[in-house]
Structure 1
Amino acid sequence: MLFNSYSFIFVFLPVVLFGYFAAGRFGAQAPVVWLALASLVFYSFSNWPFVALLLGSIAFNYLVGWLLISRRLRAAPRFAALTVGVSGDLMVLGIFKYAGFLTANFNAIFSTSVVVNILLPVGISFYTFTQIAFLVDAYRGKVAHYALAHFALFVTYFPHLIAGPILHHRDMIPQFESDDTKRPNPRLMLYGLIIFGIGLFKKTVFADGIQPLVALAFNQASPSFDQAWIGALAYTFQLYFDFSGYSDMAIGISLMFGIFLPLNFNSPYQATSIIDFWRRWHMTLSQFLRDYLYVPLGGNRHGRLLRYVNLMITMLLGGLWHGAAWTFVVWGALHGLYLCINHAWVNYGPPTPERLARPAGVVAFLLTFLAVVVAWVFFRADSLASALSVLSDMADPGRIVFGPTEMAQSLMIAIYAAIAWFAPNTQAIVGYDHKNRFVGENVSAWRVRPWLVYGGAAAFAFGILGIQRHSEFIYFRF
């Protein structure tokens, strides 16, 4: 089931909201159980064969977590339990997500014809990483005892289950345990609806609206110089508004239940460095990779050379996390290289004179954006050969066909760029900050601003009108 569908907006969400708050009459656990069951129903609409896999994953990780939290085991058995837990999670992820990729490479190397066809469960990367973080923190002594119902809801919570954000237990489970979230809050529901409407507008109007232009670069044999750039930039902004729209919709839906999701997207195309980009793009994934991969590898604690090695390993695995293909590996390698260059410049580059700070910032912004666009070509392409072909066309100004159609398409790209670069993002408009809370006073003191209500209603209406076809979010495939 898609957030941008009539069945979700007008049937599923209202029924689940009503049931969640009505269930409070039957005890503190009833709303939690109701929401967990509703999340399983949501997941089963498009992935019913894998509901058992999801439930098995929850049971397995809860049991291992219980062993780690109980502290009944000594150091060696506890480490063994952690190893079994993390290995089990990674094995399941590897079988379903990477078996076909590994088999294809095996066949290419040894000229064999082994065939492996395994369907990829939607959301498996997100709920696997979520639970791995839980197990690691349980081993570190950072997890309290949690009821099974709260843990199950933490994993299955439907606003994040399909495409993130990657949730952390310390942010979410206390909210599920709190009685405050089990009573309807009109202000939270209104602000949630506004944020949802803005996200829906981004998805169905902006992201889906520019999607046809992507084919200019990626779906024809030999695009011209301008067509290749238009197509690559179209995908750059399609992915931006698609992921930004999903992140807004997830936050808005959750707010209607009185539950705050972490911010996952913060105008990344306004970044002036790759370091800054990764503080803004898929923020919960960046935090996971930092805390549970980069830091355990040694981070920057063992000298600058090993820091660069750790950055490359982290980004290579981050690229592979997105998909089982060499294009994603190259995308991750490029960003690893970008980060190494960025950190080396910070450490060894000459200081910028004060009088050149502004033009230097503009140059840094443009170089960052160009580097991101080049990497997105690999992210979108079906193969390395296809990606290199598109980049070759983008580097050949001798083959340019700039007619009236291309002028109109370029104008469309310019409008999208202006919005992404200069317009305030959703959290700036409504006040949703990086600490998972609204800026300002407490909830009871919020004032409903008429312009925000009218603007949110207009965004919601146009977003609804934009629902014309089956249009999955791009991050559903990861």
Structure 2
Amino acid sequence: MLFNSYEFIFLLLPIALLGDRLLVGNYRYRVIWLLACSLFFYAWWNPIYLPLLLSTIGFNYVMGERLRLRPTKPLLWLAVSANLCLIGYYKYAGFFVENITHLTGAESSFIDVALPLAISFFTFQQIAYLADCYSGKSQAYGLGEYGLFVSFFPQLIAGPIVHHAEIMPQLRSTTRGTAGDMSVGATIFALGLFKKAVLADGVAPYANALFDHPDAWQSATFLHAWTGVLAYGFQIYFDFSGYSDMAIGAARMFGIKLPLNFFSPYRAETISDFWRRWHITLSRFLRDYLYIPLGGNRYGAAARYRNLLITMLLGGLWHGAGWTFVLWGLLHGMYLVIQQRWSQATSSFGAWKRVLVYRFAACLVTYIAVHFAWAYFRASSLESANRIVSAMAGRNGISVPDAIAARIGLTGATIADYGIGLDSSSGTQFVFAVLWIVALAAIVWLLPTTQEFLSRLEPAWEYSNASKTKALPEAGFGVSLPLRWRPTAFWSVVISVIAGAGILSLAEVSEFLYFQF
């Protein structure tokens, strides 16, 4: 079941909220009710994998209790290895078998299996829990509480990867689920639905026109390649931003504040800042449970660069079992190494780095680097990714649709003097793609984020737990107009219109891009 579906919006969510309200004051039955709703939500996609989810919950709960009472490294390694083997079989076995058979020429009888929904998310979430049990950072929880922590439906499918210390105290609270929570949650959910159903799905066809058609990516030139990749960059931006808002909004209706998972990443001025804003909880997991255990930056520059590359390579592989994802992770690892070297070389330029021109250049370079990597993330094969990246670099020349040139009175001979050619692609599609890109760019760099818009209402966990976490991400490079929600008739009408536009755009429901990782 998807957040952007009639079944969720008009059936499961209202029924779950009604049951939660009726059970106010009875903590035990509220936990059981929400757990049942979450398991139903999960089973809607494919009931055959519900026993798998329940088995992992039971196994990790038992192992966590044992680690909490008698922490030993062999037991920790056994528990973590079991989780990694599970995700390895379902997500990576086919990839490895395919590559081995390609190298050896041997035949394989391995049958690909469907990837269980959200396996990457609930596996990492439980590995973090096991590590904290071993380190003595976890309290004793009941099986029902733990099961709800893992499977709570607003964050089950695509995160955020929540930490038990963030969620468990809220689950146990007797004051959650007020009318104010409902109002704030519904507003955030409506904004997320609009981002997904109207903005992300609206620009998606212009990205698909490049990536899904061999004739397009094989013959792409500079402008067409960049138009398609920029369109995809905004598609995944608003898709993931929309999902993150809908997850936070749905949870807030129950009085639960989820942590931030997305905070204006295209305003980042460095790659490391990008990862502090994009998939924030995954970045936190990779830092705390992979990069730091590998040694972090404690053993010199060479070890730090190695650890960065390993972390990002595995982060890329986490996103998908394919060489395109591996190269995407490797690119980001290399970006981080280059950034480290640049920071060292310019350590004495502190004042210059605060100058507007420098900040703009830094944001632009980061944005371009991220989009070169997006080509590998989106492409269905290494060949298509390499062709598109080559075109983005200008190796295939520059051309414009001949229909556009004719409309503005230019001829092939005229523009050829500037090194620009003509092609037979659709001029209408090109113009609409550019208009979408310009409009979405204005939203990204001019409007406040959902969290900024509702900041005084503490829309996410970090806003009400500032003493327990680092400072919130800064606004980044951009204008961020001072629009803030207020309890007025004007904003009620605006949010209602936004919600209506999102719902009316659900005629063709599309999956979230992070739906099955």
Give the TM-score category using the shorter length.
over 0.9
Q: 1:178 aligns with which of 165, 173, 177?
A: 173
Give yes or no for contact 1:216–1:230 (8 Å, CA) kept in 2: no
Q: 1:309 aligns with which of 291, 306, 310?
A: 306
429-438 or 326-335, which deviates more? 429-438
CA shift, 1:207, in A, is 0.3
User: Which residue is 1:393 aligned to?
Assistant: 391
**Matched letter for residue 20 of structure 1:** D
User: Which residue is 1:344 aligned to?
Assistant: 341
User: Which residue is 2:231 aligned to?
Assistant: 234
User: Which residue is 1:409 aligned to?
Assistant: 433
- Aligned pairs for 1:158-237 within 5 A: 158-181=153-176, 184-220=177-213, 221=215, 222-237=219-234
Cα gap change, 1:195 to 1:290, in 2 (>3 Å): same
- Aligned pairs for 1:294-373 within 5 A: 294-349=291-346, 351-352=348-349, 354=351, 357-373=355-371
**Matched letter for residue 178 of structure 2:** N
Deviations 1:420-466 (A, max 9, x none): 122111001011466433699xxxxx973444333221211110011
TM-score norm. by structure 1 comes to 0.94
Richer in helix (by share): 1
- 1:436 has 2:462 as partner: yes
SS at match of 2:338: helix
Give yes or no for contact 1:188–1:258 (8 Å, CA) kept in 2: yes
Deviations 1:101-142 (A, max 9, x none): 011011111111213311100100000000000000000010
Deviations 1:233-256 (A, max 9, x none): 110000000000000000000000
User: Which residue is 2:410 aligned to?
Assistant: none
Kindly report the root-mean-square deviation, in angstroms, between the aligned alpha carbons of the 2 structures: 1.8
Deviations 1:49-106 (A, max 9, x none): 10000000000000000101123xxx6xx21111111000000000000010011011
Partners in 1 of 2:306 and 2:462 — Cα distance? 33
Q: 2:144 aligns with which of 149, 152, 155?
A: 149
Give yes or no for contact 1:216–1:223 (8 Å, CA) kept in 2: no
Give yes or no for contact 1:268–1:278 (8 Å, CA) kept in 2: yes
Q: 1:121 aligns with which of 111, 116, 128?
A: 116
User: Which residue is 2:423 aligned to?
Assistant: none
Q: 2:83 aligns with which of 59, 81, 89?
A: 89
User: Which residue is 1:100 aligned to?
Assistant: 94
User: Which residue is 1:252 aligned to?
Assistant: 249
Give yes or no for contact 2:248–2:258 (8 Å, CA) kept in 1: yes
User: Which residue is 2:516 aligned to?
Assistant: 477
SS at match of 1:280: coil
Partners in 1 of 2:343 and 2:356 — Cα distance? 17
- Aligned pairs for 1:414-433 within 5 A: 414-431=438-455, 432=458
Give yes or no for contact 2:231–2:433 (8 Å, CA) kept in 1: no
User: Which residue is 1:5 aligned to?
Assistant: 5
Partners in 2 of 1:368 and 1:96 — Cα distance? 34
SS at match of 1:352: coil
SS at match of 2:40: helix
CA shift, 1:470, in A, is 2.5
- Aligned pairs for 1:33-48 within 5 A: 33-48=32-47
402-411 or 362-371, which deviates more? 402-411
- 1:448 has 2:448 as partner: no
CA shift, 1:355, in A, is 6.2
Give yes or no for contact 1:165–1:284 (8 Å, CA) kept in 2: yes
SS at match of 2:113: coil
Give yes or no for contact 2:258–2:461 (8 Å, CA) kept in 1: no
SS at match of 1:4: coil
Structure 1, unmatched stretches of 5+, are 441-445
Q: 1:375 aligns with which of 354, 373, 376?
A: 373
Deviations 1:257-299 (A, max 9, x none): 0000001000000111101101100000000000000000000
SS at match of 1:400: strand
Partners in 2 of 1:86 and 1:438 — Cα distance? 32
Structure 2, unmatched stretches of 5+, are 405-426, 467-484
Partners in 2 of 1:214 and 1:16 — Cα distance? 36
Give yes or no for contact 1:99–1:116 (8 Å, CA) kept in 2: no
- Aligned pairs for 1:74-85 within 5 A: 78-85=72-79
TM-score norm. by structure 2 comes to 0.87
Give yes or no for contact 2:27–2:174 (8 Å, CA) kept in 1: yes
Partners in 2 of 1:279 and 1:339 — Cα distance? 12
User: Which residue is 1:138 aligned to?
Assistant: 133
CA shift, 1:303, in A, is 0.9
